[in-house]
């Protein structure tokens, strides 16, 4: 599939002018601050740019790595080059477009790739606006139960709420099992892998609600 002759770049706000100047010769430049990672991802999916540029420091963060893996895993973006640039030096590298490794799945207790913590039962969460009870939570995944029907591979809008505010992001259902609660209520227990969650915000939420 052919790519649009444009560049999508993402990085900390202060780095965008320098990155835009460095990539202007490649085509139309669409620049996004790192806080707008979800919008950048939507633009990439819609425009299928010739080049996707990440600022070096952002690319090294969990969110940056997640964006790179997401683009690599999308079969419609095989023509998009993924490039990592430093805004303040000549550093530049192209991320190999070989097939990405299979993501490590969440097990029935959470995720193996980041520390996980049991969460207080009163913590508020929702999946596609349906209330959910968090069991375990890490910066990259969660285990929860909900009455919403879930199945592996499904993408869901996830929200973590408390008096401080809301943390919103997209997650993928890695595994799901049907249960009937002791009260006879049908529900689904599932493991989620976060797509574009802000690791700092999720970590702060864990700090406020861990057991």
Interior angle at CA 194, CA 188 and CA 196, nearest 5: 140
Percent of the chain's residues with pLDDT above 70: 90
Find, among 116, 144, 140, the residue nearest to 128 by Cα: 144
pLDDT tier, 100 (very low <50, low <70, confident <90, very high otherwise): very low
pLDDT tier, 2 (very low <50, low <70, confident <90, very high otherwise): low
155-204 tens-digit pLDDT: 999 999 998 889 999 999 999 988 887 677 789 999 999 999 998 899 99
pLDDT tier, 133 (very low <50, low <70, confident <90, very high otherwise): very high
Specify the pLDDT at position 73: 81
């Amino acid at each position: 599939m052919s790519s649009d002759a444009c560049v999508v770049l993402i990085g900390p706000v202060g780095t965008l002018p320098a990155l835009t100047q460095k990539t202007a010769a490649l085509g139309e430049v669409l620049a996004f601050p790192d806080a707008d990672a979800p919008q950048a991802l939507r633009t990439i999916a819609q425009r299928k740019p010739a080049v996707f540029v990440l600022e070096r420091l952002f690319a090294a963060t969990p969110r940056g790595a997640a964006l790179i893996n997401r683009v690599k895993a999308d079969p419609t973006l095989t023509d998009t080059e993924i490039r990592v640039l430093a805004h303040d030096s000549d550093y530049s590298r192209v991320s190999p477009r070989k097939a990405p490794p299979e993501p490590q799945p969440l097990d029935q207790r959470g995720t193996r790739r980041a520390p996980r913590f049991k969460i207080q039962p009163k913590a508020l969460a929702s999946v596609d606006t349906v209330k959910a009870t968090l069991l375990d939570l890490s910066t990259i995944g969660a285990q929860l139960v909900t009455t919403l029907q879930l199945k592996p591979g499904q993408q869901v809008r996830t929200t973590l709420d408390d008096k401080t505010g809301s943390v919103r992001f997209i997650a993928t259902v890695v595994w799901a099992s049907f249960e009937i609660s002791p009260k006879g209520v049908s529900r689904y227990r599932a493991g989620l892998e976060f797509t574009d969650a802000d690791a700092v915000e999720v970590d702060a939420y864990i700090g406020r609600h861990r057991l």
